[in-house]
Every structure is written in C-alpha cells, then in structure tokens.
Amino acid sequence: MSTRTAAVGEALFGLAAVAIRRRPRTLSLTAISVLSTLERTGPRRLTDLAVSEEVTQPSMTALVTQLVDLGLAERRRDPADARVVLVAGTDAGSRQLREMRASGALTVTELIDKLDDHDTAALDAALPALLRLMELADESQDGRTPPKR
C-alpha cells in the first residue's frame, strides 16, 4: 500500500467518522448495521446476524428485541421451514436508514460546499471510484470476494 493510498483511506475514514459523530443518536452503530444488513440481504436468522455483526447471540437477541419494539424490524417464520424464525426490516426501519443516510450526506455536503471550485471538481472526478469502493464494500460484507479491476 502506497503512502498516498493510505492517506486517501485515512481521509475517507475521517470523513465518515465526522458524519457518524454528527448524526442523531437514536440508534447504536450496531443497530444501524443490522438494519443495513437486513435491507441489503433480506430476512436473516438471528444467529446469522450475530455472526455477521461479531456479537454474541444473547446480545443480538436483545438488539433485535429493541428493533422490533421500535417497529424497525420484525420476526417472521421462514416460509421454507416454519420452525425457523427470521428477522426482517420493516418500512419504518428502511425509512430510519434513509433519514440517517440523508443526515450524513448533508453533513458531508455542507463541508463540500466550503471547498473551492478546483477541489469540488476533483471530488466530482473521483465520484466513479468512490461509488466503486461502495460496491466493493457491499460485496465483501456479503461474503463475496470482490473482483479486481
């Protein structure tokens, strides 16, 4: 990894941290991550969520109960095996994620608005690469190996 690549990584991480710190504190980062996983992958077993979030099953059970109580997730039977309970996001959970993402995007947009035209053009030029990074992150979260380009 080059020094320049490391600097870009640190800058992106720092910017994400700023957006996270300035977000409304309605849900924990783990709760947001669970809702994002459910939105991306669809209903999941509680045990699968615990593994993907690297928490214990009792911790995930408590978190899912909180999300269900808030109306952001629901438990439902697996249509393929009625003995299995799946956790699914709700419309309210999706709405919460959209609002959180919009808030984070607004934080970053307000910072971008403070840049000069040259720096803004550089960010515009980097947009395709940034979007590809988001795709790679989604692929690696799903357990797939991202293809090299």
What is the model's pLDDT at position 19? 86
Cβ 128 vs Cβ 138: under 8 Å: no
Domains of the chain: 3-114 (1.10.10.10)
What is the model's pLDDT at position 26? 84
**Per-run averaged pLDDT (10 residues), the chain, 149 residues:** 88 89 84 94 95 95 98 95 95 94 91 96 94 85 48
Rounded Cα distance, 102 and 87, in Å:
25
The reported pTM is 0.76
What is the model's pLDDT at position 125? 95
What is the model's pLDDT at position 24? 74
